[in-house]
Amino acid sequence: MANKYLDFISDEHLLECIDNLYKSYLKAKAGFTKKKLYSNKLDTFKLTFDAKFNDLSEEMVLQNEMLRQVDKSINNSIGTFHEETLGGIKGYEVGNLSGYDIKAIDNTLFADIKNKHNTMNSSAAESLFQKLARYADSHKKAKCYWVQILAKNSFCDKWSGDINGKEYSHSRVYKISGDKFYALLTGKDKAFFELYKVLPKAISDYLSGIEHEDSQGNDSAVTEVKSASAESNRGIFDQITFDNFSYYMGFDEL
């Protein structure tokens, strides 16, 4: 039977990758407590402008602020989604904390995957180059890649240049964009685009097949703020402001 979604990974594998990402979303939001929300003082003046200028409810602005703050962990989970998806291609496997993210089963390819091109400082880049070079030296037929899923251009180039004042180059260490890497592993030039196009359908099918939880019920920080607001009879913004700035003159009167 032909696959429903993509021809380079099974339907079951794609849905499993989506399931893992969905659970990461739920975990990130459920674990984001009011204490974490308040770990850096919230600018309630900005929240007020956001609500009024964008015609949003206080609860919606609070939801948006919470999502903005959990964005980093979600970005990491998106990177994991790509690792797991690529690991479902025949002949390849995920690293499972082995030091690489993806490798060919025959050890002819090793890769480290970053979701965005700008997620590393110079020290991290130097460390990554050295790691990939070690894999290349240990496996004489291996090509090793720094994969940038969301890159500025479409490319596959030898990775060489000055990093932290040192000159680095290796005949089998490359940097590569997401589309080129998907093409490399699948043999299909448009594999990355095909994944993009099929995701809305695959996600909808996944969600329709589960009893997905009420997202608001899993937003711990939002639930805690709303509960405190109801108990104190304050509006949501007044509750946030009181929680963060009750020591300011006049703010204890909220």
Residue with tokens 């070079």: 133
For 66-107, the pLDDT digits (tens) are: 888 888 778 889 999 999 999 999 999 998 878 899 999 999
Instruction: Please indicate, yes or no, if residue 47 is contained in any of the structural domains.
Output: no
- Find, among 78, 141, 159, the residue nearest to 115 by Cα: 78
For the chain, give the percent of residues with pLDDT over 70. 96
Supply the mean pLDDT for the chain.
Answer: 91
Determine the Cα–Cα distance for residues 6 and 155; give it in Å rounded to an integer: 23
| pLDDT reading at 6 higher than 60 | yes
Q: pTM of the entire structure?
A: 0.84
- What's the CA dihedral at 179, 183, 171, 96 to 10 degrees? 80
Range of the domain at 95: 86-208
pLDDT at site 117? 73
Instruction: Please indicate, yes or no, if residue 128 is contained in any of the structural domains.
Output: yes
Average pLDDT over residues 218-231: 87
Comparing 48 with 29, the larger pLDDT belongs to 48
Instruction: Please indicate, yes or no, if residue 102 is contained in any of the structural domains.
Output: yes
Average pLDDT over residues 12-20: 97
Whether 159 contacts 146, CB under 8 Å: yes
Instruction: Please indicate, yes or no, if residue 149 is contained in any of the structural domains.
Output: yes
Determine the Cα–Cα distance for residues 60 and 51; give it in Å rounded to an integer: 8
Instruction: Please indicate, yes or no, if residue 11 is contained in any of the structural domains.
Output: no
pLDDT at site 165? 83
Strand partners, 196: none
Instruction: Please indicate, yes or no, if residue 25 is contained in any of the structural domains.
Output: no
Instruction: Please indicate, yes or no, if residue 164 is contained in any of the structural domains.
Output: yes
| pLDDT reading at 197 higher than 60 | yes
Instruction: Please indicate, yes or no, if residue 5 is contained in any of the structural domains.
Output: no
Report the domain count for the chain.
Answer: 1
